Chains A and B, each alone.
Chain A
Amino acid sequence: MAAQRAARTNDEADHPSSPVLQFGPDKPLKLDAGTLLSPFQIAYQTYGTLNDARSNAILVCHALTGDQHVANTNPVTGKPGWWEVLIGPGKIIDTNRFFVICANVIGGCLGSTGPASTNPATGKPYGLDLPIITIRDMVRAQAMLVDHFGIEKLFCVLGGSMGGMQVLEWAASYPERVFSALPIATGARHSSQNIAFHEVGRQAVMADPDWHGGKYLELGKRPEKGLAVARMAAHITYLSEAALHRKFGRNLQDREALTFGFDADFQIESYLRHQGMTFVDRFDANSYLYLTRAMDYFDLAADHGGRLADAFAGTKTRFCLVSFTSDWLFPTEESRSIVHALNAAGASVSFVEIETDRGHDAFLLDEPELFAAINGFIASAARARGLGL
């Protein structure tokens, strides 16, 4: 069973169920770690049609455990795309008007080169032999994908959480290639508390005897217990106390009374265990290590001499930031400090804080105020870009 799943993880990484762009030895990916990744590949999805002027492209950046299947049924889980509420024909990001691209990040596990991919030098999965990947590395790879489509300037780059970090990095690294940027529920750096939660998750993975120093795939194993615990801890940070209380309270799970044992007496326990179990089915543990590390390393101000405004100096990009009142992973203050930096850089910026008790995960949910803000921002940017309604 575990061996089968391990084989499937490696297979999905090498031969994903989506288009793949391969970069040979002539086109290496320059990594912040100081090495080159080559050869490498990017798995992606596109929706809609690129117009003749190549001016209607929108790049969607996915979050930590997201993937390229933003607006189509996920081939691994069979569930709807993770942002199908927002993106599709006739939706707010209308694929009848826009050409939408979403790529699996480098370091991911659904087809872009990551730790579960086969290392051509050894013929075995990379495991920890893959160099550390940063948010900037992910963005650099995405830029190569955008080049492949012959797109000089993206109409919009958007994403939430780790996706929002990529959006900020895009705006900072390629200001002339980003007409508008929509970073949601994110920060310009990972806070100490966020690094702490990630470290708990990583330690849980690495404490699983099936992790084997990261070489589990070649041994036909997977550290599923450790990864499930990591997911359970992380999942709590995506919700709010109010939402947890509203949904679960102290309700008991399929029983009338406490059992005086360590079974999942409470609904919340059962819910978290379920979240952990379904997550390990679709995600690779080493990928989780690499991507959490990428988020931890992200500090846009530090990359620009310690002053965040300098990351955006002279930018012409139109920005819209969104935060949620009950998000304690990326609280509103994180967005506000980005807004202040953008103000200092003289940038065009909108900033909306949305009242909700659904926590960090609100960006993935059907939030009418979020959609109204995105709609207004995209519509006015489209007018400014000369993309008729």
Chain B
Amino acid sequence: MSVNRAQRVDLDVVTDLIPANSRVLDVGSGDGVLLELLQETKQVDGRGMELSQRGVNECVARGLSVIQGDADKDLGFYPDKGFDFVVLSQTLQATRNPKVVLDELLRIGNRAIVSFPNFGHWRVRFSLLIKGRMPVTKDLPYSWYDTPNIHFCTIRDFVNLCEELGATVEKATALDANGQKIGLSMPWWFWNFFGQQAVFLLRR
């Protein structure tokens, strides 16, 4: 698990955003690493939804409260404002309808936390501009034909979508290739260029 955590600095950023004892829904909970981290460090009342049955079974065997479900289809079953926080961590780009999913997150949670890889990162731009190839990087290891990530966006695109949905950005963090936070004073274009991933705290 420590290996996973090191690779996923965004999880620490997400954890820092959540106060102790919150009610949290983790959409796309994978093998449960974030839920477990949140339960250990923040004693949250945590629930998860995960697409892969294997991931779900692993989570439940580890004592986590997780169900098999599809963010595109199953969020509608949750009541309005049933959670303090709904987390969508590195999953938005794999959903069929990111706009609807984000809208649902803002309905279900008092706050939504979304982390995603930034397609505006300079390496991505470099790959397309110079090599003329779809980018394959350490963080985005798939080829174009087998990637589950069908809806990439840049940090700027995401900010636009939030505006469209009437969501307020309460906090945003961009992480560079080394997992270091990019300074708050930097302008959006800088984040969009050097941020490899971004974490947004939203409310509506």
Chain A positions within 8 Å of B, measured between CB atoms, are 318, 320, 336, 339-341, 343-346, 348-355, 369, 372-373, 375-377, 379-380, 383
* List of A residues within 8 angstroms of B66 by Cβ: 350-351
Q: Once the chains bind, are A350 and B67 in contact (CB under 8 Å)?
A: yes
CB distance from B30 to the nearest CB of A (A): 15
Q: How far is the CA of A351 from the CA of B57 in the complex (A)?
A: 8
Q: Roughly how many angstroms separate A376 CA and B56 CA in the complex, as a whole number? A: 12
A379 and B63 in contact, given A343-B77, A343-B78, A372-B57 (Cβ under 8 angstroms): yes
Q: Which residues of A contact B57 (CB under 8 A)?
A: 352, 354, 369, 372-373
B96 on the A face (CB < 8 A): no
Q: How far is the CB of B43 from chain A (nearest CB, A)?
A: 11
User: Complex: how many Å from CA A350 to CA B61?
Assistant: 10
Q: Which residue of B lies closest to A339 (CB)?
A: B67
Would you call B143 an interface residue if the criterion is a C-beta within 8 Å of the partner chain's C-beta atoms?
no
Collect the chain B residues with CB atoms within 8 Å of residue A346's CB.
78-79, 82
Compute how far the CA of A101 lies from the CA of B59 in the bound complex, rounded to whole angstroms.
Answer: 28
B128 within 8 A of A: no
Of chain A, the residue at the smallest CB distance from B67 is: A351
Number of interface residues of B (CB under 8 A): 21
Smallest CB-CB separation from B23: which chain A residue?
A346
Q: How far is the CA of A204 from the CA of B65 in the complex (A)?
A: 44
Of the residues B60, B65, B78, contact of A348 by C-beta under 8 Å = B65
Does B103 reach chain A (CB closer than 8 Å)?
no
Q: Does B8 contact A (CB under 8 A)?
A: no
Decide if A350 touches B77 in the complex (CB within 8 Å): no
How far apart sit A351 and B47, CA to CA, in the bound complex (Å)? 11
**Distance of A58 from chain B, by nearest CB (Å):** 17
A-B contacts, 24 of them at CB < 8 A, read: A320-B60, A339-B67, A339-B69, A340-B74, A343-B67, A343-B74, A343-B78, A344-B78, A346-B78, A346-B79, A346-B82, A349-B65, A350-B56, A350-B60, A351-B56, A351-B66, A351-B67, A352-B57, A353-B56, A354-B57, A376-B64, A377-B63, A380-B63, A383-B63
B72 within 8 A of A: no
Interface centre among B63, B64, B74 (most CB of A within 10 A): B63
- Nearest to A348 among chain B residues (CB) is B65
Are A344 and B79 in contact, with the CB atoms below 8 A? yes
A341 to B63, CA, bound (A): 21
Docked Cα-Cα span, A377 to B56, in Å, equals 12
B60 touches A377 (CB 8 A): yes
Interface positions of B (Cβ within 8 A of A)? 45, 47, 53, 56-57, 59-69, 74, 77-79, 82
Q: Is the CB of A351 within 8 A of B68?
A: yes
Is A344 a contact partner of B77 (Cβ separation < 8 A)? Answer: yes
* Residue contact A350 to B79, C-beta cutoff 8 Å: no
- Closest B-chain residue to A323, C-beta based? B68
Nearest chain-B residue to A372 (Cβ)? B61
B75 — nearest CB in chain A belongs to which residue? A343
Residues of A within 8 A of B65 (CB): 318, 348-350, 380
Given contacts A339-B67, A340-B77, contact A376 B45 (CB under 8 A): no
Contacts of B53 in A (CB 8 A): 352-353, 355
Is there an interface contact between A352 and B79, defined as CB atoms closer than 8 Å?
no
What separation, in Å, do the CA atoms of A339 and B48 have in the docked complex? 12
Query: Nearest chain-A residue to B45 (Cβ)?
Result: A348
Contacting residues, chain B, for A373 (C-beta < 8 A):
57, 60-61
A336 CA to B64 CA, complexed, in Å: 18
Beyond A343-B77, A375-B61, A377-B63, 5 additional contacts (C-beta under 8 Å) are: A339-B69, A348-B45, A350-B66, A352-B57, A380-B65
Residues of B within 8 A of A345 (CB): 79
Q: Within the assembled complex, what's the spacing in Å between the Cα atoms of A375 and B65?
A: 13
Q: Which residue of A lies closest to B62 (CB)?
A: A376
Q: A149 CA to B182 CA in the complex, in Å? A: 62
Given A340-B77, A343-B67: A348 in contact with B47 (beta carbons within 8 A): yes
Contact A350 B78 (CB under 8 A): no
Q: Which residues of B contact A352 (CB under 8 A)?
A: 53, 56-57, 60, 68
Q: In the assembled complex, which residues on chain B have CB atoms less than 8 Å from the CB atom of A318?
A: 65
Complexed CA–CA distance, A247 and B100 (Å): 47
| Cβ distance B110 to chain A, nearest Cβ, rounded Å | 13
CA distance A341 to B45 in the complex (A): 19
Give every chain B residue within 8 A of A372 (Cβ-Cβ). Answer: 57, 60-61
- Given the complex of chains A and B, what is the CA–CA distance between A339 and B77 in angstroms? 9
Q: Is the CB of A376 within 8 A of B47?
A: no
Q: State which of B64, B74, B82 has its C-beta within 8 Å of the C-beta of A350.
A: B64
Contact between A376 and B61 (Cβ–Cβ < 8 Å)? yes
Residue of B nearest to A351 (CB): B67
> Which residues of chain B come closer than 8 Å to A340, judged between CB atoms?
74, 77
